[in-house]
Amino acid sequence: MKHVMTTLCYIEKDDCYLMLHRVKKENDLNKDKWIGVGGKFEENETPEECLLREVKEETGLTLTSYRLQGVITFISDEWGSEYMFLYTADAYEGQLREDRMQNCEEGILTWVPKADMEKLNLWEGDKIFFRLMETEDRFFSLKLCYKGDKLVESKCEFPTNFR
């Protein structure tokens, strides 16, 4: 089975994250969930190239300061496996395109206060990596195993040789 490789970015501004409410695509495994912006690698892309391209496509913004927070390994009995490079960004150029706020192909973009994140319809595993991003100032590797929509296992490691 082929593994999917993706990036996901949480853009920060005024103690908020830019979130995408996935309500538009049919047959979307993230249907009705709130996630960051990102997507699948194109052929021969690095994680950073994928990150920058996907953010530009979905928001119209060009990131100027971003940080790799961790690598998430998703295992699912329904959709296979995915390796996701998780980023945060705290600076960008350009304006968030107003046409993207309501008309992004995949959903609706909204600035959400960090304090309100756990109130959203998030994947259970996403709640784990949000806590890690807020409490840990180091790179992490997180494995999340799902049966259907249910998180059945999580395992986090902090590689000591990663700087």
Long-range contacts at 127-131 (CB < 8 A, ≥ 24 apart): 128/154, 128/156, 129/69, 129/70, 129/72, 129/86
Evaluate whether residue 161 is within a structural domain: no
pTM above 0.85, yes or no: yes
> What whole-number distance in Å separates Cα of residue 1 and Cα of residue 40?
16
Domain of residue 102 covers 4-156
Asked if residue 118 is part of any domain, the answer here is: yes
Strands (E), 3-149: 4-13, 16-21, 34-35, 37-40, 62-76, 80-93, 108-113, 140-147
> pLDDT > 70: what percent of the chain?
88
Joined tokens for residue 68:
């790799």
Residue 28 inside a domain? The answer is yes
Confirm whether 163 is domain-assigned: no
Binning pLDDT at 50, 70 and 90, where does residue 134 land? confident
> CB-based contacts of 106: which residues, under 8 Å, 6+ apart?
20, 22, 24, 25, 28, 58
Residue 6 identity (one-letter amino acid): T
Q: Does 129 map to a domain?
A: yes
Q: What is the pLDDT of residues 47-97, one digit of tens each?
A: 999 999 999 988 889 999 999 999 999 999 988 899 999 999 999 999 886
**Residue 100 pLDDT > 60, yes or no?**
no
Tell me the pLDDT tens digit for each residue of 153-163: 999 998 876 55
CA angle, 5 then 23 then 29, to 5° = 40
Q: Averaged over 97-107, what is the pLDDT?
A: 65
SS3 call for 115: helix
pLDDT band at 11 (very low <50, low <70, confident <90, very high): very high
Residue 162 domain-assigned (yes or no): no
Indicate whether 18 belongs to any domain.
yes
Q: How far apart are CA 139 and CA 129, in angstroms?
A: 11
In a domain, 72, yes or no: yes
| CATH code where residue 61 lies | 3.90.79.10
Which tokens sit at 160? 């000591």
Number of domains in the chain: 1
Q: Beta strand 62-76 with 140-147: parallel, antiparallel or unpaired?
A: parallel
